[in-house]
Structure 1
Amino acid sequence: MSIIKLLLLTFSIAILATSCSVNSHVMFKEGEAEIITDNIPLSPDDAYKLAPDDKFTFTLFVENGKRIIDVGSGIGSEANGSQRLGGTTTFQYLVRKDGQAELPMLGLVDMAGLTVIQAQEKLAKLFSVNYIDPFIQIQVTNRRVIVFPGSGGDAKVIALQNDNTTLMEAIALAGGITERGKASVIKVMRQSEEGRKVYQIDLSTLEGLKYADMIVQSNDYIYIEPTKQLTREFLQEVSPIVSLISSAILVISVFTMFN
């Protein structure tokens, strides 16, 4: 086999190997997983429940929160002894792997599986042993969604400050859909008891506007599929190989010429 043929064979093998890496960064390619495109829930069926690794803060006011009303209406800050537990300092508490959280005065309390309202009612009952008519406010501080807006380098973790954050708001907080992103292929991957469900939404037309108000939930993955750029990425991968082989052919040609 001549040198030129050997080089061409090597080049062909390199091209085949390179083609396997083109668009290799594209995530969540469709396989056998079920993609749900109809009857997509616009709002959660159940309220969010605390889970292991969640972090939360809570504030306790006595006398059913009387001081909140008194301060808001300009009455003295020491209205009949109404106090807030912990002063103005805010502490975060962790729901441990066993579902318990260690709280001041109470010790370990089972918190996993409770909605925010249920947790507030539970703590109010427990603190009522030491406080008069306790009023509890709880806020989960690490609720978040992960948004991939169309190119991997722009992925963002969005904190959910609002319980009613919509899909459109989450995308906007991530900076919107990138130039490579497909508005027609937006996948919302949501954890359920059966595993993650994948909802595919098309926001490229006005018909998909109804899904723009879909309420996102903590730990959702929002993945906007990027447009595949086969030609550009293929040329980027092949250019170094072509350059190397061209140089080798040139050297061999010159060597052959003088021999």
Structure 2
Amino acid sequence: MKRTFFLVLVVINTAFFSCIPYKDTVYLQNKSQATDSIQKIVEQQKPYRVQINDILNIRIKVTDQDNVQIFNPIGIGNLNASGAERAYFDGFTVDLHGNIRIPELGDMNVLGYTATEIETLITDKLLADQFKETANIFVTVKLTGLRYTTYGEIGSGMQTIYQERVNIFEAIANAGDITDVGNKKDVLIIRQYPEGQKIHHIDLTHVNVMNSPYYYIQPNDMIYVKPLKQKSWGTGTNVLQNIGAVATVLSLITTTILVFQRI
């Protein structure tokens, strides 16, 4: 009787203490007094500055559009390409020196510039070398999608979203969400800077994550989701799964003991 009672206690303790707590699975919990975060978020949205290996989509329009065909090489790289591949062939890649090469205009250094600043650079260059102000030059510069990488307890691989701004939840949803054994409290964002890479930590279970300067991801970010310790234990994610796992183990142990007693 005592042995049975002891085994029941083991099953109950294992079931409750090895499962994943509810608070570790829920996003955006109000763990403290909530404050109006709108102003903080607006202040954090600084324009993105171009980095090495970024691909820019540049389009130039003037009154007589035939005069700028050479600047807009649409689809000449690979006519069968589509999506991100088409962007690679049609776009202008920032080289290791921070330059892009534009037909007729030559190399232009754009490293560390915003899209708006690059538009001004190209417009000024065109007015100085190619056109007059009466040509009504209109230049648009955009990144060819926001590319980032996800790995760990989340859908892994290179991801691309064709938006100018993407927050961390949109990025995660696009990759397929975090698994049940993923650590939402300590998600790592590995970000590129001119001086090198830096690792930033964010807690997705806290509502104040929306105030974080890393709430919106940037091109070339890497998002790593660590596993919870429950994964290494090999237990389930809830009480019923844990009871089943423990019951299976106890059944195996009991069967083994009975077999050896009969030998």
Question: How far, CA to CA, are the matches of 2:99 and 2:193 in structure 1?
Answer: 22
Tell me which residue corresponds to 2:68.
85
SS at match of 1:85: helix
Q: Is contact 2:145–2:162 with CA below 8 Å preserved after alignment?
A: no
Tell me which residue corresponds to 2:6.
none
Alignment-mate amino acid for residue 94 of structure 2: V
Alpha-carbon spacing, 1:209–1:55, altered in 2? closer, same or farther (3 Å): closer
SS at match of 1:96: coil
RMSD (Å) for aligned C-alpha atoms: 3.0
- State yes or no: 1:109 paired with 2:108: yes
Aligned ranges 1:220-259 → 2 under 5 Å:
220-228=221-229, 229-232=231-234
Alignment-mate amino acid for residue 198 of structure 2: K
Unaligned ranges ≥5, structure 1: 1-40, 64-80, 234-259
Question: How far, CA to CA, are the matches of 2:213 and 2:99 in structure 1?
Answer: 36
SS at match of 2:149: strand
Alpha-carbon spacing, 1:194–1:124, altered in 2? closer, same or farther (3 Å): closer
Alpha-carbon spacing, 1:56–1:184, altered in 2? closer, same or farther (3 Å): same
Q: Is contact 1:166–1:212 with CA below 8 Å preserved after alignment?
A: no
Aligned ranges 1:101-140 → 2 under 5 Å:
101-128=100-127, 129-131=129-131, 132-140=135-143
Question: How far, CA to CA, are the matches of 1:179 and 1:93 in structure 2?
Answer: 40
**Overall identity of the aligned pairs, in %:** 21
Q: Is contact 1:160–1:218 with CA below 8 Å preserved after alignment?
A: no
Alpha-carbon spacing, 1:54–1:142, altered in 2? closer, same or farther (3 Å): farther
How far off is 1:222 after superposition? Answer: 1.4
Higher helix share: 2
Q: Encode CA deviations 1:187-229: one digit per residue, 9 max, x unaligned.
A: 2222335543333222235565655991111122211111233
How far off is 1:149 after superposition? Answer: 5.4
Return the index of the structure with the highest Cα Rg. 1
* Matched residues, number: 174
Alpha-carbon spacing, 1:190–1:85, altered in 2? closer, same or farther (3 Å): same
Tell me which residue corresponds to 1:141.
144
Q: Encode CA deviations 1:96-116: one digit per residue, 9 max, x unaligned.
A: 212222111112222222211
- State yes or no: 1:179 paired with 2:162: no
Q: TM-score, normalised by structure 1?
A: 0.57
Q: Is contact 2:123–2:137 with CA below 8 Å preserved after alignment?
A: yes
Alpha-carbon spacing, 1:191–1:122, altered in 2? closer, same or farther (3 Å): same
Alpha-carbon spacing, 1:184–1:84, altered in 2? closer, same or farther (3 Å): farther
Tell me which residue corresponds to 2:8.
none
How far off is 1:140 after superposition? Answer: 1.7
Alpha-carbon spacing, 1:197–1:227, altered in 2? closer, same or farther (3 Å): same
Question: How far, CA to CA, are the matches of 1:212 and 1:112 in structure 2?
Answer: 22
Alpha-carbon spacing, 1:194–1:96, altered in 2? closer, same or farther (3 Å): closer
Q: TM-score, normalised by structure 2?
A: 0.56
Unaligned ranges ≥5, structure 2: 1-39, 76-89, 236-263
Q: Encode CA deviations 1:146-196: one digit per residue, 9 max, x unaligned.
A: 122515xx3122224222200110000001111221222212222335543
Tell me which residue corresponds to 1:55.
55
Alignment-mate amino acid for residue 96 of structure 2: K
